[in-house]
Chains A and B, each alone.
Chain A
Amino acid sequence: MEALLTDYTLRTVALGAAVLGATAGALGTFAVLRGQSLVGDAVSHAALPGVVLAFLVTGGTHPLALVVGAALAGWAGMAAVGAVTRHSRIPFDAALAMALAVFFGIGLMLLVGVQRRPEGAQSGLATFLFGQAAAMLTRDVAVMAGVGALALAALAAFWKELVLLAFDPGAAAALGLPVRRLDLLLTTLVVVAVAIGLQTVGVVLMSALLVAPAAAARQWTDRVGAMTLLAAAVGAGSGVAGTVWSALVPRLPTGPAVVLVATAVVGVSLLVAPGRGLLAGALRARRARATLGGMGTLQDLFTLAEAHPENPHHAHPEAVLRTMTLRPDGVAPDLAALAARGLAERAGDGWRLTADGLRRAREMARVGT
């Protein structure tokens, strides 16, 4: 932690990662809300040939050139997906998978070819696969910050239109919004977020930085604005933590480090978030069971009592009740709850309804019919 304040390189790295995480988190929110979480994966893989070609064309690794190359190739990949889905019967997800594989395959071929050359072997292009934070320079961070800020500004400028597009594209079109162009804008913004993250996080795991912060943020809020801000914060946090971690541990690639941090945040959010979290859900279910107080088992006791009209308080073994329900393990706690409320009582080896329980069950049966 101390190093974060004093070490210049580390500070640069952390700043870049924060910018990257915030951009990817905010834009990823829209990809996730539109059910297009896999778009980021396709774009990042499709961007690889663009990175290598940019290196070949410019003969260097200037970050802006590589980002532009990555963005153009990623964008071409999405254009291919669009063309395939429009002009054939191939569904969207299959087209995505195809674009991902074809572009990534071309990228790998180019990459291997370049690395055989002496100037290519030292280019550090291989770090684009899994990401390498240590490779980040001040000028990289400057490019990331500039491009990321532009993307976020565009998101803010077209905010309400993009929200409507994500929620109800049919209504957006009926209201006269240029849905096709807005869709293109959103795709472009996702491409930009991916392009600035490639060197740090890597082609293979970049999409996690788009999806995970949004998935975590959704757990904590029911407002799209808050969700976007929170996803940006989670993305920035995961980016910083992951890149610092990988910068401190030799040979630890940044992509996996960032993704592990972000996934941990998702895991915690899934568990403990109020409202949507698993723990909150389990608590609610338990409370509901307690209030319902074993009404299902009360009904079953009533059914048995009806079978003995001459003596409705005849006792029946617990085993019989267990055969009457889909949830046999719930019978014992149900009976305990019913006994506590004075609706059922133990009699010999079995259980029977009390007078109160019989009245209550009759009421419920009446309401039910």
Chain B
Amino acid sequence: MPPPALEIHDLTVAYRDTPVLWDVDLVVPEGVLMAVVGPNGAGKTTLIKAVLGLVDVAAGQTRVHGKPYAEARRRVAYVPQRGSVDWDFPASVLDVVGMGLYGTLGWFRRPGAAERAAAMDALREVGMDAYADRQIAQLSGGQQQRVFLARALVQGADVFLMDEPFQGVDATTERAIIALLQRLRAGGKTLVVVHHDLQTVPEFFDHVLLLNVRRIAAGPVAEVFTDDNLRRTYGGRVPFAAAREATPVDAAPGEVASVAADGAA
């Protein structure tokens, strides 16, 4: 059996003395579209950054297709939060998408015709090819998000780590993005997506990780995305219509920490 697309073992990350992630285990099988949900400060972004080696890890290992990230880097594409860069930077849409190829292009080589063609293909896939020559500041939030997706697509990766790709995009863009993600999954890619809208999880995703510093639960949406697990994740304050067929919410917020003790690992 081939190793899973992404494997996280005993991952602990702390900023100063505060743990942001505590002893997290996760196995992401190949070819799934997984949402990562949890309250603010749950460590969702940190989880992704830890896999990519962008934050210092106190303990634990992560493996991509059975290998450490440094060896599997070319199989992984990262879509950071849109707000993490200055969009007034003097670059065109095509420039930014082309940056996705800088990891494989090699030192001292400039992007040429082949790279431009690849970047145009990626832009076409996200419906942004008409904007190739635009300065990136002239784009709407949703368009900027799609540029970041195109920059990930151009890498030809098969594992995608995305941080809030639906943040601040309009309904049309949201549909376009989810259609793209589902197309990628249909093509055998693995996608791990930090997501904030619980309402759309069952509709958009097939797997879900419920995270609040600790892993609360992970697995297929149908099995794991339950009222009970959501309550354990959000401490009794489930932030949408009380998880639909709501049973009365009775777990006290204080209970969460004790229930969360890593049952599924």
Contact = CB atoms under 8 A, between A and B. Distances in A.
A170 B161 CA distance: 13
Residue of A163, A164, A174 with most partner-chain B CB within 10 A: A174
Q: Is the interface of A mostly helix, strand, loop or mixed?
A: helix
Contact of A164 (B84, B102, B107, B135): B102
Contact of B91 (A157, A161, A218, A223): A223
A223 B90 contact: yes
Interface string B66-107: 000010010010101000111001111001100110110101
A170 B54 contact: yes
B99 A167 contact: yes
Interface string B97-120: 001101101011011000000000
B81 to A, nearest CB: 9
A184 interface: no
B53 interface: yes
Nearest to A228: B90
Nearest to A33: B89
Nearest to A29: B90
B80 A170 contact: yes
A224 B136 CA distance: 12
B16 to A, nearest CB: 8
B238 interface: no
Contacts of B76: 174
Interface string A158-179: 1111011011101111111100
Contacts of A227: 90
Nearest to A166: B89
Interface in A36-79: none
A159 to B, nearest CB: 8
A188 interface: no
Nearest to A224: B90
Given A157-B108, A171-B78, A171-B80, A177 B103 contact: yes
Interface residues of B, number: 30
B52 interface: yes
B90 A221 contact: yes
A224 B54 contact: no
Contacts of B100: 175
Contacts of B84: 168, 170
Given A157-B108, A227-B90, A176 B70 contact: yes
Interface in A134-173: 157-161, 163-164, 166-168, 170-173
Contacts of A223: 90-92, 95
Given A173-B52, A174-B52, A176-B70, A222 B92 contact: yes
Interface residues of A, number: 27
Contacts of B92: 222-223
Contacts of B107: 158, 161
B145 to A, nearest CB: 14
A163 to B, nearest CB: 8
Contact of B73 (A159, A164, A170, A175): A175
Interface in A207-243: 218, 221-224, 226-227
Nearest to B16: A89
Contacts of B86: 35, 167
Contacts of A221: 90
Contacts of B151: 171
Contacts of B135: 222
Nearest to B79: A171
Interface in B3-45: none
A161 B53 contact: no
Given A167-B99, A173-B54, A176-B103, A224 B89 contact: yes
A167 B89 contact: yes
A166 B52 CA distance: 19
A110 B95 CA distance: 49
Given A157-B108, A160-B102, A223-B90, A168 B54 contact: no
5 contacts: A35-B86, A171-B80, A172-B102, A174-B52, A224-B95
Interface of A: 33, 35, 157-161, 163-164, 166-168, 170-177, 218, 221-224, 226-227
Chain A to chain B: the 6 pairs with minimum beta-carbon distance, closest first: A175-B103, A222-B135, A174-B78, A174-B52, A224-B90, A168-B85
Given A170-B49, A177-B103, A224-B89, 16 more contacts: A160-B99, A163-B91, A163-B99, A166-B89, A168-B84, A170-B54, A171-B78, A171-B99, A174-B52, A174-B73, A174-B76, A176-B70, A177-B102, A218-B90, A221-B90, A224-B95
